[in-house]
Amino acid sequence: MSGDWTRRAALAGLLSGAASTALGFAPDTSLRPVPRPGGLYRRAVPDADTLIARAQLGGKVGFAVADSATGQMLETRQPLVGLPPASVAKAITALYALDALGGDYRFGTQLVAHGPVQNGVLAGDLTLVGGGDPTLDTDALAAMAQSLKSAGVREVRGAFHVFGGALPFEAGIDDSQPAYVGYNPAISGLNLNYNRVHFEWRRAGGDYTVSMDARSERYRPDVQFARMRIVPRDVPLFTYEDQGGRDSWTVARGALGNGGARWMPVRKPELYAGEVFQTFARAQGIVLTAPKVARRLARGTALVTHRSEPLTDILRGMLRYSTNITAEAVGMTATAARIGRAAPLRASAREMSSWAERGLGMSQVRFVDHSGLGDASRVRAADMVKALVAARGVRGLLKEHPIRDADRKVIADHPLDVRAKTGTLNFVSGLAGFLQAPDGSDLAFAIFAADMDRRGQLSRAERANPPGGRDWARRARNLQQDLLKRWGTVYGA
């Protein structure tokens, strides 16, 4: 797929539906594989049941693989069992956003003046207005501050406001996650640095120095809205308290070692962005009052507008790095475009579920978010393959998924070309995409595995690094690799 996927082209790809009939009646048990003529080596390939038994994952494993051109289902196992897709859901979110917004869509962030500017003086308030951009970073705010000065503003006599009402505020994506994980930040119409703040600590003699900053490629401004206090304890690792205008954290001294750094989630994204912009405005000689969150946006004149990269590029990055906040922001923005108003996260996810059934032919699909972080989402392997076949253009957004050996080392020059989206939660693993064999055969596939009983036994604290979780994930990924190798051999040269 080219980088210029317009809405019309997206719709054409989504509705191509080459395989709606072939995929519509996938059975609950495996189809008999249909190997192509020639070569006893194909018959020597372990069958799927053997590979699954060898993985010893427990729980349930479902998969489906089909010819991506004709939609003929080639092999399945429990294809109609709904399982959590994890981040594989982001592939559907990408299609949903492209359908609603178009590949050329750009998010906008503005500086709006509420009053006239005369002789370099704004005789009124200034508002930093978010447009839902999930990729806004510190460098962009620095550039906006410079542009404000270039527009002739030297002084702001009124108050400084921040507005994130383009999207409904969410304190986090999934409230079952540990409070301190950076992949579960708040969501707002005004986001900065993926709503993460950088926490760094260094040992200085018998004590520590700590810093919290909004670093990006060029700048590292310190922030005050988020504070970290070291507490003499071993557990818990972190605690969080909402102190009105501040994110207040504590960290266990016994876990710090000699030094280190990590990204912490931001729970007050508008104030975060406002404080960082205030810093850069001051560097330009423009002194602003402390930012205040505006609940409504008053009329005004846009003095500066920052535009994001095109949506297609944002989605490609989302699928490559699996950024949760990007998925939620683009999904919620797509819903607002579809229904004419912003909707809370869960309602937006339901709208995407309905669209997936109508637009992609999926059935009994349930999304509770757009990123796959919530484990209550359910997707059937046969439905995921149906979506991939109906919207084959999504292949151009998916990253290369190299074939690896049992030790997870990449096999150089392996003849199979795989483009796919991974998905991982504790005791949940998914992979879906396209596989091209050396003879040109092209397959669409989806693999979902989940041990929900084992996952359900975890405490909230254990979800950051559960006992046995890494080994389970390794075996799940090895199973995915084994199935890909099997299909490449049985259904391609």
pLDDT band at 39 (very low <50, low <70, confident <90, very high): low
Q: Please give the pLDDT value at position 493.
A: 59
Q: How large is the angle between the packed helices 324-339 and 345-360, nearest 10 degrees?
A: 70
Does residue 11 have a pLDDT over 90? Answer: no
Residue range 399-421, pLDDT digits in tens: 999 999 888 899 998 999 999 99
Residue range 444-478, pLDDT digits in tens: 999 999 999 999 999 988 888 899 999 999 999 99
The mean pLDDT value for 238-246 works out to 93
Q: Please give the pLDDT value at position 492.
A: 83
Does residue 382 have a pLDDT over 90? Answer: yes
Place of tokens 């839902």: 132
Residue range 139-157, pLDDT digits in tens: 999 999 999 999 999 999 9
Q: Please give the pLDDT value at position 42.
A: 62
Q: How large is the angle between the packed helices 311-321 and 89-101, nearest 10 degrees?
A: 180
Distance CA 446, CA 480 (A): 10
All structural domains of the chain, each given as residue ranges with its CATH number in brackets, are 7-103+311-490 (3.40.710.10), 107-308 (3.50.80.20)
- CB-based burial of residue 158 (10 Å sphere; 0-12 exposed, 13-18 middle, 19+ buried)? middle
CA-to-CA separations, 248 to 138, 278, 411, in angstroms, rounded:
21, 21, 46
Residue range 352-361, pLDDT digits in tens: 999 999 999 9
Tell which residue, 120, 133, 286, 137, has the closest CA to residue 197: 137
Q: Please give the pLDDT value at position 256.
A: 94
pLDDT band at 66 (very low <50, low <70, confident <90, very high): very high
The mean pLDDT value for 296-304 works out to 96
Mean pLDDT, the chain, integer: 92
Does residue 21 have a pLDDT over 70? Answer: no
Residue, of 459 and 112, whose pLDDT is higher? 112
The mean pLDDT value for 178-199 works out to 97
Among 24-28, 260-264, 417-421, which is the least confidently predicted range? 24-28
Q: Please give the pLDDT value at position 15.
A: 40
pLDDT band at 26 (very low <50, low <70, confident <90, very high): very low
Q: Please give the pLDDT value at position 462.
A: 87
